[in-house]
Amino acid sequence: MSTAVLSASAATIPNNLNELAPLVHPGRKPPVLPGQDIGHLAKWSVSSFKFGFGPECLQDDDPDTFWQYVPVSDGPQPHFVTIEFPRKMAIQVKLPLLSNSPCTIPSSFLSMYPDIGFMLQKISLFLSFPLDDSYTPAAISIRAGTGLGDLQEVRSITLEKPDGWITFDVSTEPGDDGDGFKPVHAYILQILILTNHMNGKDTHVRGMRILGPVE
């Protein structure tokens, strides 16, 4: 398991790529990243929601809508999103960022990170502390497994007043060839909101994308 602390000011690329931190893409528009969104292949469900603010708001590409968790009692968190694939998926993107690559990668992306030969972006979340205040997630846990009974935590992240699309790897286990990270093969992916900013109880998540190749 790996924990990353993220500031909303800028993306940080550490010297050790095995500790690649989440990237912050400011603005409301989803970032253009290598790989494809495979979320439409899965069934989405949430722990609870306010009427009109259900899981469909996570995938509608509208930053003005959001999933809002509403506690059914005064019980504690976590709140969670469960994503169930019909077959085991490799939740990973691994593409060479080379000038002769057949993949179409924005030149702005290459200019931002010229020294990185690959990108492993797997989950993108749109969060906005300026808009959502205490409804904004502060600590997130990612779990994966073949069923609800064997989910294991593969990543945890701490956020500090995020504002924009937060993109991060599901796995931080180095690949066998030392180039990137091992993929997470799973039928079920679960994103848990462990805590919110300012000890808020309800949660707002304005967008979510799952990136990875279709095997």
Beta-carbon contacts of 207 under 8 Å, excluding residues fewer than 6 positions away, are 30, 58, 59, 61, 63, 124, 125, 126, 165
pLDDT tens digit string along 95-141? Answer: 333 333 333 334 443 344 333 322 334 799 999 999 999 999 999 99
CA distances from 148 to 58, 82, 109, 160 (A): 21, 9, 37, 30
The pLDDT of residue 6: 43
| CATH architecture of the domain with residue range 3-210 | Sandwich (2.60)
CA 67, CA 44: separation in Å to the nearest integer? 12
The pLDDT of residue 52: 87
CA 53, CA 205: separation in Å to the nearest integer? 10
Cβ atoms of 12 and 160 closer than 8 Å? no
Q: How far apart are the first and last CA of the chain?
A: 25
Nearest partner of 200 among 78, 28, 72, 65, judged by Cα:
78
User: Of the segments 12-16, 67-71, 112-116, 174-178, which one has the largest average pLDDT value?
Assistant: 67-71
Beta-carbon contacts of 16 under 8 Å, excluding residues fewer than 6 positions away, are none
Q: Where are the domains of the chain?
A: 3-210
Tokens found for residue 190: 């679960």
Nearest partner of 80 among 136, 141, 158, 138, judged by Cα:
141
pTM (predicted TM-score): 0.73
